[in-house]
Amino acid sequence: MAMQAARREPEHWLERERRAPRDPKASGPRSGALAAASGWAFVACAAVAIGYGLWALYGSGSRLQTLDLLTETGMAPESSDPQRRGPVYLEPAMSPLRAVLHAAHAPVHSSRLQFEVALQDGEGRTLWRTPGFFGSRDDEASIVYTKTSLATFEITQGGPYFVHAQTSGSSMDDLREMTLELRRNVTRVNSRITWGFGLAALACLLVRLVAPRRRRPRLTLVPR
């Protein structure tokens, strides 16, 4: 009788926990590996999308010419317009070309200077015209450097071209630098690449967020 009573005695709580059925929804090593892999895949896809876009806009092709838009050293001798720079001789073999605006300003208060840059041929026809602002309203650094892709364009007829640039607005910002870089034989941004890797990064992020995380097993105390 003593032996039977001992056998009927409840098992120790640790032993019962070991023999308890596992929760199929509880995460394990596989779910942890999935979360880690999706996290790294998100970083890789996002880096490719951003890196490709920056390289295509600012790194592809080769530099053709740089014009200083603040001084009159680049002004055409035959021009009486102080906002006109050139001439720049462009040929169809240089296409596609890209205009990149480099600027530096010391921000004062929250209002920013406005700019407008345009490219015209020798007959005064405008190929492109781009307005914009230097920096943003939240600029707080003593000197802010900006780089802006203004236009990607084709040249169908070779000859002299001129750049028109002007600033406007009531801002008190101190404009320190304003140069226009012309790059030849650049790569146009392929939106399918940027969108493809961007959506892939988003999918990996969602997998990372919904993947179950590994949790410690809950131990249940069973009284004797």
Q: What pLDDT does residue 99 have?
A: 96
Q: What pLDDT does residue 204 have?
A: 81
Classify domain 62-186 at the CATH topology level.
Answer: Jelly Rolls (2.60.120)
Q: What pLDDT does residue 28 have?
A: 54
- Residues 89 and 122: their CA atoms lie apart, in Å, by 10
Residue segments in the chain with a per-residue pLDDT below the cut of 70: 1-31, 71-82, 211-224
Dump pLDDT digits (tens) for 151-189: 999 999 999 999 999 888 778 888 899 999 999 999 988
Q: Where are the domains of the chain?
A: 28-60+188-212, 62-186
Q: What pLDDT does residue 119 have?
A: 96
Tell me how crowded residue 160 is: count the other CB atoms within 10 A of its CB.
13
**What is the maximal distance between C-alpha atoms in the chain?**
121
CA dihedral 93, 95, 101, 102 (to 10 degrees): -60
- Residues 105 and 114: their CA atoms lie apart, in Å, by 12
Q: What's the predicted TM-score (pTM) here?
A: 0.67
Q: Give SS3 for 217.
A: coil
Q: What pLDDT does residue 75 have?
A: 40
Q: What pLDDT does residue 29 have?
A: 59
- What is the residue whose two structure tokens read 């004797």? 224
